[in-house]
Amino acid sequence: MMRGWEFDRHVPERGYAWWYVDALSDDGAHGITLIAFIGTVFSPWYAAAHRRGPADPQNHCCLNVALYGSPRRWAMTDRRRGALSRGPDYLQIGPSRLDWDGETLTIHINEMTAPIPSRLTGTVRVRPRALGSREFTLDTHGRHRWQPIAPRSRVEVELSSPGLRWSGPAYFDTNHGAAPLEEDFREWDWCRAPMQDATAILYNAERRDGSKQSLALKATDDGAVVDIAVPPPATMPRTLWRIRRPTRSESGQARVVRTLEDTPFYSRSEIRTTLLGQETTAVHESLELDRFKNPAMYAMLPWKVPRTLG
């Protein structure tokens, strides 16, 4: 059985593995997303490498950190193989590190923001209520898999630069694959909605072969992740970059509370929707991979995804 905190898992050539955490503060003022990548799927440097042939994912790793609210910060430095050290329960990427002690995932952040350089340092602790073992295949060839490790968690954010401290509900999952995302998918949207006794998760994908997948799941405090009826589609306004934000809602309606991330190929938003019979706040993302693989995008991305020299 694949355990989500196996930071030493094998990552094949041209493949990837990532561990994802997001959280919103209890008062709704702040948010954070952290993604530890081996094979940085949205790195222009890794995309260029695997267009030339077999590419080592360990030569393209990073800890992506995004702060929302005030202050806002972004860090995503693509690092070389020498910056990577890992074992079953730890992942060191440059000066930042993730540690799993059996009960808590501790993320030590020591990064430089982009495009305007500033320090981003501190500690984030993710405390799962329970751990899930269910894993899902996302494509028709079995090359891409997703596991919601701990959809029901709490987070404690303590940053020294910028000075910030808060706590709130959190989510923790992992994806891994054997090929670039843009080879097998056109687009996808995902959201997770925490409620008092359960978390709803939606995952909708449009594949390159024309097929589609819609997952609707309920995660509970005992670690169970079970299928629920797929809700009807709901449409929300496009972002300023004209990225579509499709989702699903039991009422057939959803609205954007605030846009957290708006890029030419990806958006992350805080939305209000209806799931598990309740109106709730959810974190939503939408990804358009035809836009990502546009050559113009590779020219723009180095401003937000710099690469270290050593």
Find the CATH number of the domain harbouring 235.
2.40.370
> Of 156, 179, 202, which residue sits at a domain end?
179
What pLDDT tens digit does each residue of the chain (310 aa) get?
A: 345 578 999 999 999 999 999 999 999 999 999 999 999 999 999 999 988 888 999 999 999 999 999 999 999 999 999 999 999 999 999 999 999 998 999 999 999 999 999 999 999 999 999 999 899 999 999 999 999 999 999 999 999 999 999 999 999 999 999 999 999 999 999 999 999 999 999 999 999 999 999 999 999 999 999 999 999 999 999 999 999 999 999 999 999 999 999 999 999 999 999 999 999 999 999 999 999 988 888 888 999 999 997 6
Q: Please check whether residues 95 and 235 belong to one and the same domain.
A: no
Q: Are residues 169 and 200 in the same domain?
A: no
Distance of CA 105 to the CA centre of its chain: 16
Q: Which of 48, 270, 293 is CA-nearest to residue 187?
A: 293
Residue 24 lies in domain: 1-179
Q: What are the beta bridge partners of residue 194?
A: 199
What pTM did the predictor assign?
A: 0.96
Q: How many domains does the chain divide into?
A: 2
Q: Is the dihedral of CA 40, 58, 54, 209 positive or negative?
A: negative
The answer as to whether 307 is a domain residue is no
99 and 201 both lie in a single domain: no
CA dihedral 48, 49, 51, 56 (to 10 degrees): -150
Residues 55 and 175 in one domain: yes
On whether residue 165 sits in a domain, the answer given is: yes
